[in-house]
Amino acid sequence: MAIGRNPKANLGAKVLRTLTRGPSPRYVKARLENASRVRDVKGELEAALGAEVGAQLHHVEHHQAHVASAFFASPFEDAAILSVDGFGDFASTMLAEGRGSSFEVLERVLFPHSLGIFYTAVTQWLGFPNYGDEGKVMGLAPYGTPRFLDEMRVIVRPKGDVFELDLDYFRHHREGVDMTWDAGTPTIGTLFSDRMEEAFSATPPARQMFGIFVRCHSASTRCRYDSSSTAWSEAATSSCRAVRSSSGPRAAPTAIPESPAAG
Protein backbone atom coordinates (compact mmCIF):
# COMPACT_ATOMS: atom_id res chain seq x y z
CA MET A 1 0.00 0.00 0.00
CA ALA A 2 1.49 3.34 -1.08
CA ILE A 3 1.15 6.41 1.15
CA GLY A 4 1.68 9.72 -0.64
CA ARG A 5 3.68 11.28 2.18
CA ASN A 6 7.25 10.65 3.25
CA PRO A 7 8.64 12.64 6.20
CA LYS A 8 12.19 11.77 5.09
CA ALA A 9 11.75 13.43 1.67
CA ASN A 10 13.71 16.68 1.21
CA LEU A 11 15.03 16.20 4.73
CA GLY A 12 18.26 18.09 4.06
CA ALA A 13 16.34 21.16 2.89
CA LYS A 14 14.07 20.97 5.93
CA VAL A 15 17.00 20.79 8.35
CA LEU A 16 18.90 23.59 6.59
CA ARG A 17 15.92 25.93 6.72
CA THR A 18 15.30 25.15 10.37
CA LEU A 19 18.92 25.89 11.27
CA THR A 20 19.28 29.04 9.17
CA ARG A 21 15.85 30.66 9.41
CA GLY A 22 14.69 29.72 12.89
CA PRO A 23 10.96 29.03 12.31
CA SER A 24 8.46 29.80 15.03
CA PRO A 25 7.85 27.23 17.81
CA ARG A 26 4.27 26.88 16.56
CA TYR A 27 5.53 25.89 13.12
CA VAL A 28 7.99 23.34 14.52
CA LYS A 29 5.31 21.83 16.77
CA ALA A 30 2.86 21.51 13.88
CA ARG A 31 5.48 19.86 11.64
CA LEU A 32 6.44 17.34 14.33
CA GLU A 33 2.81 16.46 14.97
CA ASN A 34 2.17 16.04 11.27
CA ALA A 35 5.24 13.83 10.81
CA SER A 36 4.12 11.67 13.72
CA ARG A 37 0.70 11.14 12.16
CA VAL A 38 2.19 10.29 8.77
CA ARG A 39 4.45 7.68 10.34
CA ASP A 40 1.45 6.07 12.06
CA VAL A 41 -0.82 5.80 9.03
CA LYS A 42 -1.31 2.09 9.71
CA GLY A 43 -2.60 2.84 13.20
CA GLU A 44 -4.92 5.53 11.83
CA LEU A 45 -6.30 3.11 9.22
CA GLU A 46 -6.82 0.33 11.75
CA ALA A 47 -8.63 2.71 14.09
CA ALA A 48 -10.88 3.94 11.26
CA LEU A 49 -11.61 0.47 9.88
CA GLY A 50 -11.85 -1.35 13.18
CA ALA A 51 -9.65 -4.12 11.77
CA GLU A 52 -6.01 -5.04 11.44
CA VAL A 53 -4.20 -3.86 8.32
CA GLY A 54 -1.85 -6.57 7.09
CA ALA A 55 -0.55 -4.80 3.99
CA GLN A 56 2.97 -3.42 3.92
CA LEU A 57 3.03 0.37 3.73
CA HIS A 58 5.37 2.28 1.42
CA HIS A 59 5.89 5.99 1.98
CA VAL A 60 6.28 7.85 -1.32
CA GLU A 61 7.22 11.53 -1.63
CA HIS A 62 4.05 13.59 -2.09
CA HIS A 63 4.72 14.95 -5.59
CA GLN A 64 6.31 11.73 -6.80
CA ALA A 65 3.01 10.05 -5.93
CA HIS A 66 1.20 12.65 -8.07
CA VAL A 67 3.66 12.17 -10.92
CA ALA A 68 3.40 8.39 -10.79
CA SER A 69 -0.40 8.31 -10.65
CA ALA A 70 -0.63 10.63 -13.66
CA PHE A 71 2.07 9.10 -15.87
CA PHE A 72 1.71 5.37 -15.22
CA ALA A 73 -2.03 5.51 -15.84
CA SER A 74 -1.64 7.60 -18.99
CA PRO A 75 -1.43 6.28 -22.58
CA PHE A 76 1.97 7.95 -23.13
CA GLU A 77 5.31 6.18 -23.40
CA ASP A 78 7.15 9.48 -23.00
CA ALA A 79 5.77 12.50 -21.17
CA ALA A 80 6.70 15.80 -19.60
CA ILE A 81 5.07 15.88 -16.17
CA LEU A 82 4.26 18.85 -13.95
CA SER A 83 2.77 18.50 -10.46
CA VAL A 84 1.68 21.69 -8.66
CA ASP A 85 -0.19 22.22 -5.39
CA GLY A 86 0.17 23.92 -2.01
CA PHE A 87 2.85 21.87 -0.25
CA GLY A 88 3.61 18.23 0.32
CA ASP A 89 6.79 16.92 1.92
CA PHE A 90 8.28 20.43 1.80
CA ALA A 91 7.81 20.78 -1.98
CA SER A 92 5.13 22.67 -3.89
CA THR A 93 6.05 21.79 -7.47
CA MET A 94 7.78 18.94 -9.27
CA LEU A 95 8.97 18.75 -12.88
CA ALA A 96 9.65 15.24 -14.16
CA GLU A 97 10.28 13.25 -17.33
CA GLY A 98 8.46 9.96 -17.77
CA ARG A 99 9.72 7.23 -20.08
CA GLY A 100 8.35 3.71 -20.21
CA SER A 101 7.96 2.29 -16.71
CA SER A 102 9.92 4.97 -14.84
CA PHE A 103 10.31 8.70 -14.43
CA GLU A 104 13.12 11.06 -13.52
CA VAL A 105 12.63 14.09 -11.29
CA LEU A 106 14.12 17.13 -13.01
CA GLU A 107 13.31 19.97 -10.61
CA ARG A 108 11.53 20.75 -7.36
CA VAL A 109 10.27 24.02 -5.92
CA LEU A 110 10.67 23.89 -2.16
CA PHE A 111 9.13 25.74 0.79
CA PRO A 112 8.29 28.60 1.09
CA HIS A 113 7.60 29.19 -2.64
CA SER A 114 4.28 27.84 -3.89
CA LEU A 115 1.75 28.72 -6.58
CA GLY A 116 -0.91 27.06 -4.44
CA ILE A 117 -0.08 29.32 -1.50
CA PHE A 118 -0.12 32.34 -3.81
CA TYR A 119 -3.57 31.51 -5.17
CA THR A 120 -5.01 30.70 -1.77
CA ALA A 121 -3.59 33.88 -0.23
CA VAL A 122 -5.18 36.04 -2.94
CA THR A 123 -8.44 34.10 -2.56
CA GLN A 124 -8.43 34.82 1.18
CA TRP A 125 -7.67 38.50 0.64
CA LEU A 126 -10.63 38.72 -1.73
CA GLY A 127 -12.89 37.62 1.13
CA PHE A 128 -13.19 33.87 0.55
CA PRO A 129 -11.66 32.28 3.67
CA ASN A 130 -12.68 28.64 3.30
CA TYR A 131 -10.58 25.81 1.97
CA GLY A 132 -11.54 25.16 -1.65
CA ASP A 133 -12.82 28.70 -2.29
CA GLU A 134 -10.15 29.05 -4.96
CA GLY A 135 -12.68 27.49 -7.32
CA LYS A 136 -14.94 30.53 -6.91
CA VAL A 137 -12.11 32.82 -7.98
CA MET A 138 -11.37 30.56 -10.94
CA GLY A 139 -15.03 30.72 -11.94
CA LEU A 140 -15.12 34.51 -11.72
CA ALA A 141 -11.83 35.04 -13.58
CA PRO A 142 -13.23 34.70 -17.14
CA TYR A 143 -15.56 37.63 -16.48
CA GLY A 144 -12.69 40.05 -15.89
CA THR A 145 -9.69 41.60 -17.59
CA PRO A 146 -6.17 41.56 -16.09
CA ARG A 147 -6.14 45.08 -14.69
CA PHE A 148 -3.93 44.10 -11.75
CA LEU A 149 -1.59 41.81 -13.65
CA ASP A 150 1.49 44.02 -13.13
CA GLU A 151 0.96 43.89 -9.36
CA MET A 152 0.48 40.13 -9.45
CA ARG A 153 3.70 39.72 -11.44
CA VAL A 154 5.53 41.34 -8.54
CA ILE A 155 4.07 38.82 -6.09
CA VAL A 156 4.91 35.73 -8.19
CA ARG A 157 7.61 35.80 -10.84
CA PRO A 158 9.66 33.38 -12.97
CA LYS A 159 13.01 32.23 -11.60
CA GLY A 160 15.03 30.14 -14.01
CA ASP A 161 12.90 27.20 -15.12
CA VAL A 162 10.46 27.63 -12.24
CA PHE A 163 9.24 30.58 -10.13
CA GLU A 164 9.49 32.34 -6.78
CA LEU A 165 7.21 34.37 -4.52
CA ASP A 166 7.89 37.81 -3.13
CA LEU A 167 7.65 36.62 0.45
CA ASP A 168 6.88 40.09 1.81
CA TYR A 169 3.27 39.45 0.77
CA PHE A 170 2.94 36.25 2.82
CA ARG A 171 3.25 35.09 6.39
CA HIS A 172 3.49 31.27 6.19
CA HIS A 173 7.29 31.29 6.04
CA ARG A 174 7.69 33.48 9.13
CA GLU A 175 4.88 32.49 11.46
CA GLY A 176 3.59 29.18 10.21
CA VAL A 177 -0.11 28.85 9.41
CA ASP A 178 -2.60 26.69 11.27
CA MET A 179 -4.10 24.00 9.08
CA THR A 180 -6.28 21.14 10.33
CA TRP A 181 -8.07 18.28 8.63
CA ASP A 182 -9.61 16.74 11.75
CA ALA A 183 -13.19 17.97 11.30
CA GLY A 184 -13.57 16.55 7.79
CA THR A 185 -13.42 19.86 5.94
CA PRO A 186 -9.91 21.35 6.09
CA THR A 187 -9.39 24.75 7.68
CA ILE A 188 -6.42 27.00 6.98
CA GLY A 189 -5.20 30.17 8.66
CA THR A 190 -4.51 33.51 7.00
CA LEU A 191 -1.69 33.34 4.47
CA PHE A 192 -1.39 36.93 3.24
CA SER A 193 0.53 39.62 5.10
CA ASP A 194 -0.10 43.31 5.72
CA ARG A 195 1.99 44.02 2.63
CA MET A 196 -0.75 42.65 0.41
CA GLU A 197 -3.26 44.88 2.18
CA GLU A 198 -1.01 47.87 1.55
CA ALA A 199 -0.41 47.00 -2.09
CA PHE A 200 -4.11 47.04 -2.88
CA SER A 201 -5.20 49.66 -0.37
CA ALA A 202 -6.41 51.97 -3.15
CA THR A 203 -9.24 49.54 -3.94
CA PRO A 204 -12.29 48.76 -1.80
CA PRO A 205 -12.17 45.88 0.66
CA ALA A 206 -12.77 42.47 -0.85
CA ARG A 207 -16.23 41.91 0.57
CA GLN A 208 -17.41 45.24 -0.80
CA MET A 209 -15.84 44.37 -4.12
CA PHE A 210 -17.63 41.05 -4.30
CA GLY A 211 -20.92 42.71 -3.42
CA ILE A 212 -20.40 45.21 -6.24
CA PHE A 213 -19.65 42.35 -8.61
CA VAL A 214 -22.86 40.54 -7.75
CA ARG A 215 -25.04 43.66 -7.95
CA CYS A 216 -23.45 45.68 -10.72
CA HIS A 217 -20.86 43.49 -12.51
CA SER A 218 -18.29 46.17 -11.78
CA ALA A 219 -15.39 45.97 -14.24
CA SER A 220 -12.79 46.79 -11.60
CA THR A 221 -14.02 43.91 -9.44
CA ARG A 222 -13.91 41.39 -12.24
CA CYS A 223 -10.39 42.50 -13.14
CA ARG A 224 -9.15 41.69 -9.64
CA TYR A 225 -10.14 38.05 -9.89
CA ASP A 226 -8.71 37.59 -13.38
CA SER A 227 -5.32 39.05 -12.49
CA SER A 228 -4.57 36.41 -9.86
CA SER A 229 -5.56 33.64 -12.27
CA THR A 230 -3.40 35.02 -15.09
CA ALA A 231 -0.28 35.43 -12.95
CA TRP A 232 -0.69 31.89 -11.61
CA SER A 233 -1.11 30.57 -15.16
CA GLU A 234 2.00 32.37 -16.42
CA ALA A 235 4.19 30.84 -13.73
CA ALA A 236 2.71 27.37 -14.28
CA THR A 237 3.11 27.68 -18.05
CA SER A 238 6.76 28.65 -17.63
CA SER A 239 7.32 25.44 -15.66
CA CYS A 240 5.48 23.41 -18.32
CA ARG A 241 7.75 24.79 -21.05
CA ALA A 242 10.83 24.01 -18.99
CA VAL A 243 9.87 20.39 -18.34
CA ARG A 244 8.88 19.80 -21.96
CA SER A 245 12.19 21.27 -23.11
CA SER A 246 14.14 19.09 -20.68
CA SER A 247 12.34 15.89 -21.64
CA GLY A 248 12.73 16.32 -25.40
CA PRO A 249 10.47 16.93 -28.38
CA ARG A 250 8.70 13.56 -28.21
CA ALA A 251 7.33 14.09 -24.73
CA ALA A 252 3.59 14.62 -24.44
CA PRO A 253 2.24 16.76 -21.58
CA THR A 254 0.58 14.98 -18.67
CA ALA A 255 -1.60 17.28 -16.57
CA ILE A 256 -2.16 16.85 -12.85
CA PRO A 257 -5.15 18.97 -11.80
CA GLU A 258 -5.52 19.74 -8.12
CA SER A 259 -6.92 22.38 -5.81
CA PRO A 260 -4.16 24.99 -5.45
CA ALA A 261 -3.81 24.70 -1.70
CA ALA A 262 -4.01 20.95 -1.48
CA GLY A 263 -1.13 18.85 -0.23
CA–CA gap between residue 230 and residue 166 (Å, rounded): 17
Task: Tell me the angle at which helices 25-39 and 41-49 cross, rounded to the nearest 10 degrees.
Answer: 60
Largest CA distance in the chain: 60
CA–CA gap between residue 163 and residue 189 (Å, rounded): 24
CA–CA gap between residue 101 and residue 96 (Å, rounded): 13
Nearest one of 59, 57, 66 to 87, comparing CA atoms: 66
Question: If you compute the radius of gyration of the chain from its CA atoms, what whole number of angstroms results?
Answer: 19
pTM: 0.78
Nearest one of 116, 52, 126, 68 to 88, comparing CA atoms: 116
Residues in the chain: 263
Compute φ and ψ for 131, nearest 5 degrees. -60, 130
Q: pLDDT digit string (tens) for 189-213?
A: 999 999 988 887 655 454 454 444 4
Asked whether the predicted pLDDT for residue 76 surpasses 70, the reply is yes
The more confidently predicted of residues 114 and 247 is 114
pLDDT for the residue 161: 82
pLDDT classification of 92: cutoffs 50, 70, 90: very high
* C-beta atoms surrounding 91 within 10 Å: 25
Nearest one of 116, 38, 105 to 67, comparing CA atoms: 105
CB 171, CB 192: distance < 8 Å: yes
CB 263, CB 181: distance < 8 Å: no
CB 83, CB 94: distance < 8 Å: yes
pLDDT for the residue 221: 32
Average pLDDT over residues 238-263: 55
pLDDT for the residue 128: 85
- The full set of domains in the chain, from first to last, is 2-254 (3.30.420)
What does pLDDT average to over the chain? 77
Share of the chain above pLDDT 70, in %: 68
CA–CA gap between residue 230 and residue 176 (Å, rounded): 27
pLDDT for the residue 127: 83
